[in-house]
Structure 1
């Protein structure tokens, strides 16, 4: 596990060097493979974490009700500003129990090492139906569009900003996996000026507002063997955002849809990258 963490850190350093000198997009090819033992061990570690620190809340706006969990920074200090991380769940977590949206990617924020080192607010909404719908475009590429409830997340963010003026408005981050990654892209496309950075893992892309994404900090992660949300979608988005020196695209040659998040769940690579970005 330690060796894998070091490899990811080295890859990240190489990426930074390339970005700084070329001022171009960065495409990282990663040859990591995940066996069943590592897959199970990683998930079990996160499943055994207590999620009691995530407060249960419900956002209501007209006839819309969105259950969500909300995590305060460690040692929350009213005199300090903190980033806000918004994490979106995949389609298998749809519901209204206000529990199931805390998938493994969301749980990384309550790992002791992450919670202690990366003080932030974390918002984890749950959708009662698909938050992102997929439609094939004229080129045969699946593209994503937000649901009405997903659009309402912008209103929820506004309410949370009012409730917690300690949120650093220049450091609001989006992260998601699968349908959740598509929703993260949808929100970034709807309000690119709102968010400092986005991590998108195995998404169906949103191609609706490309001109406003050309200077955004975006990290696309996808497995080349993904047939659920086809890898080609992230590849097309990467090419269409040609010239964005803040865009990183990591291709895992040997991974598919169900194991693509595993390399990052027990590291701090996603957190370090996000926290280095600001408006």
Structure 2
């Protein structure tokens, strides 16, 4: 074998190994990855991926999509996403029982942008295939800007999610009918001056009027940070796991 051929084969092997690693991160660890969209022209989306340690019986794990707030937007700065919520918590909890996808919204964009919503669904499909997650147990949650994004994505595609947890966000009450069959647990701080409590109240009322299954927790003394107590509460995850799509 000549030197040029040997070098080419070595390079191919290295690329193959890198691709395998990207699709198969070490259990109990959180890694940085990038989606190159096939549905949005030129679209890319950086994200953190956490894969839990294998469960007893090797059951397919549930999948959680977490959408951060406006302060964690960035371009190639994924450590920012670990500031709050599930991507922060899994750093010290390798047994967290969900595969967690935590994408980073690009600077100047919003989770409610149509192209980003398209890529979020594409990302779910990708991880479901690569990690062999349970497609009947896909959960959506987000805080602040991510709460708004969660409301919109859930309303547009309620069939994709087993349950949704929007925190200190808001949405369009006109979407209530499409949300009515989806288990939803809403959280907000009564003293929130960044996103007024009214934004969650109007969504909860609209979904209830549409006959929806919705729970609402208001922290009387909390300001905008209603997410720390929420994501630190084991009862939240027990509640999520009660639900699956048919």
Superposition TM-score tier, normalisation by shorter sequence = 0.7 to 0.9
Q: 2:69 aligns with which of 87, 90, 96?
A: 90
Structure with more relative contact order (C-alpha pairs < 8 Å, separation 6 or more): 1
Distance 1:77 1:147 in 2: 39
The answer to which of 173-182 and 266-275 deviates more is 266-275
> Deviation per CA, 1:45-89, whole angstroms, max 9, x where unpaired?
xxxxxxx92111100113111000111121378952110011111
Q: 1:204 aligns with which of 170, 180, 187?
A: 170
Unaligned runs of 5+ in 1: 1-51, 133-144
**Structure of greater Rg:** 2
Higher normalized helix content (fraction of residues)? 2
Q: 2:103 — aligned with what?
A: 125
Distance 2:184 2:150 in 1: 11
- Residue 174 of structure 1: how far off its partner (Å): 0.6
Aligned residues of 2:85 and 2:228 also touching (Cα < 8 A): no
Runs of 4 or more above 4 Å deviation: 76-79
Matches within 5 A, 1:94-243: 94-96=73-75, 97-106=77-86, 107-112=88-93, 115-116=94-95, 118-128=96-106, 129-132=108-111, 145-164=112-131, 166-243=132-209
- Residue 150 of structure 1: how far off its partner (Å): 2.9
- Residue 162 of structure 1: how far off its partner (Å): 2.1
For the aligned residues, what is the CA RMSD? Answer: 2.1
Unaligned runs of 5+ in 2: 1-27
Distance 1:204 1:213 in 2: 13
Query: Given the superposition, is the C-alpha separation of residues 271 and 109 from structure 1 closer, same or farther in structure 2, using an over 3 Å criterion?
Result: farther
> Deviation per CA, 1:15-53, whole angstroms, max 9, x where unpaired?
xxxxxxxxxxxxxxxxxxxxxxxxxxxxxxxxxxxxx92
Higher normalized strand content (fraction of residues)? 1
Aligned residues: 211
Distance 1:161 1:206 in 2: 29
Distance 1:77 1:263 in 2: 29
Aligned residues of 2:169 and 2:200 also touching (Cα < 8 A): yes
- The two structures have a TM-score, normalised by structure 1, of 0.70
